[in-house]
């Protein structure tokens, strides 16, 4: 059963990831501007923010398995409609509703997993987010392969739709998640006022900056500032993601010897030191190598913070997950934009200094719990 959650999260991240590499082909196909293409990302993030938050919350009131299957069908339909759409407006609308109605599959898969295996929370969440990072790693490769084969950008969306169809049939075999009687009586909206949960959601929000706020601008930094070829500058993001995937896969082993808070402190320290080396040493080879170690440090942050938040309310994993994912989505909408705005005036490498401040804050926050 945990593998369903892993696949659901990885697949949703893959769906989000195929849009970016497909943009040049979409721009050429539809004859739209970069500004118009940028609205795709805005609506994708907005739909994910609303869909994930409310979809996960509903899972504490309604049958999780049925909700999961419904959202799988919505995501499948949205991908097919996007692939078939011939105008800018129809693609715009389909992407928004695809994100709004399809994004909950990851959060729902997670809430089902947490309900069935609450005792393996940290281990399963680390493995789940490792697979999600793998989905992000694979998405540009899928788009490239589709284009190399002479298929249009629409082929990537058909491929993702096929993956969702597999997920739907796998979800049909999931046993119903039964709730205990006392859990049904627990107050649900009290989570919206819980300071510890909201603070954890704030930490999740912050952690997005050093994560995707770093990776989004990495290729541009190598291409523009370091004058590296486009082929290599595109590949460096994969090096970062390789570090993230490996470190998240190692978290279950580390948890046997270390407390989650200690792993978080070690991770922020490794990422901070790596970022300082990345900035001050001019060698492109060293910068490329240090990206991997930066990914190793960043990897454990998200899964362990999510585990901490959902552990506060094990009887309501859906609402807790929705609140935490809302922090993640808000971070994805705001922090990369903020870093990009800073980079416009002071440069990308200097703008990464903001990530260093966030890492230091996260480290000190968890230091008192070690």
**Per-residue pLDDT tens for 273-324?**
999 999 999 899 999 999 999 999 999 998 889 888 878 777 776 677 778 8
CATH 1.20.1250.20 residue ranges of the chain are: 1-173, 191-370
pLDDT at 356: 96
Q: For residue 179, what are the contacts with CB-CB under 8 A and spacing of at least 6?
A: 115, 315
* Cα separation values, 271 from 77, 218, 313, Å: 40, 15, 30
pLDDT at 34: 66
pLDDT in tens, 202-217: 999 999 889 888 887 8
- 191-370 classified as CATH 1.10.510.10: no
Question: Domain spanning 1-173: which CATH class is it, in words?
Answer: mainly alpha
Phi, psi for 361 (deg, rounded to 5): -60, -45
Percent with pLDDT over 90 in the chain: 25
pLDDT at 184: 45
pLDDT in tens, 302-315: 888 988 887 877 77
Cα–Cα nearest to 125, from 140, 112, 139? 112
The count of other CB atoms within 10 Å of the CB of residue 195 is 7
Residues of the chain with pLDDT under 70: 1-2, 20, 34, 56-57, 59-60, 115-116, 118-119, 122, 174-192, 230-235, 317-318, 368-370
């Amino acid at each position: 059963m945990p593998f369903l959650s892993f696949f659901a999260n990885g697949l949703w991240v893959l769906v989000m990831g195929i849009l970016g590499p497909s943009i040049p082909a979409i721009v050429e196909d539809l004859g739209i501007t970069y500004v118009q293409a940028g609205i795709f990302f805005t609506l994708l993030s907005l739909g994910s923010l609303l869909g994930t938050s409310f979809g996960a919350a509903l899972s504490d009131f309604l049958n999780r398995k049925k909700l999961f299957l419904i959202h799988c069908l919505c995501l499948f339909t949205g991908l097919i409609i996007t692939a078939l759409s011939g105008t800018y407006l129809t693609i715009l609308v389909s992407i928004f509703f695809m994100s709004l109605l399809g994004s909950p599959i990851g959060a729902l898969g997670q809430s089902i997993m947490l309900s069935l295996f609450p005792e393996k929370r940290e281990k399963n969440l680390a493995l789940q987010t490792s697979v999600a990072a793998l989905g992000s790693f694979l998405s540009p490769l899928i788009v490239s392969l589709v284009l190399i084969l002479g298929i249009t950008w629409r082929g990537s969306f058909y491929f993702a739709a096929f993956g969702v169809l597999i997920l739907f049939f796998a979800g049909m075999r999931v046993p119903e998640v039964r709730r205990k009687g006392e859990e049904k009586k627990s107050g649900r909206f009290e989570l919206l006022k819980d300071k510890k949960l909201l603070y954890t959601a704030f930490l999740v929000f912050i952690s997005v900056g050093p994560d995707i706020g770093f990776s989004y601008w990495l290729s541009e930094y190598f291409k523009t500032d370091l004058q590296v070829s486009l082929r290599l500058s595109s590949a460096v993001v994969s090096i970062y993601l390789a570090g993230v995937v490996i470190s998240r896969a190692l978290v279950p082993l580390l948890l046997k010897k270390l407390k989650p808070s200690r792993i978080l402190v070690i991770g922020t320290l490794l990422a901070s030191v790596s970022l300082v080396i990345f900035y001050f040493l001019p060698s492109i080879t060293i910068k490329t190598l240090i990206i991997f170690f930066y990914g190793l440090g960043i990897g454990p942050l998200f899964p362990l913070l999510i585990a901490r938040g959902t552990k506060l309310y094990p009887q309501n994993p859906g609402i807790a997950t929705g609140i935490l994912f809302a922090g993640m989505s808000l971070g994805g909408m705001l922090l990369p934009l903020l870093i990009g705005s800073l980079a416009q005036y002071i440069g990308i490498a200097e703008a990464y200094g903001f990530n260093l401040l966030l890492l230091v804050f996260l480290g000190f926050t968890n230091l008192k719990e070690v």
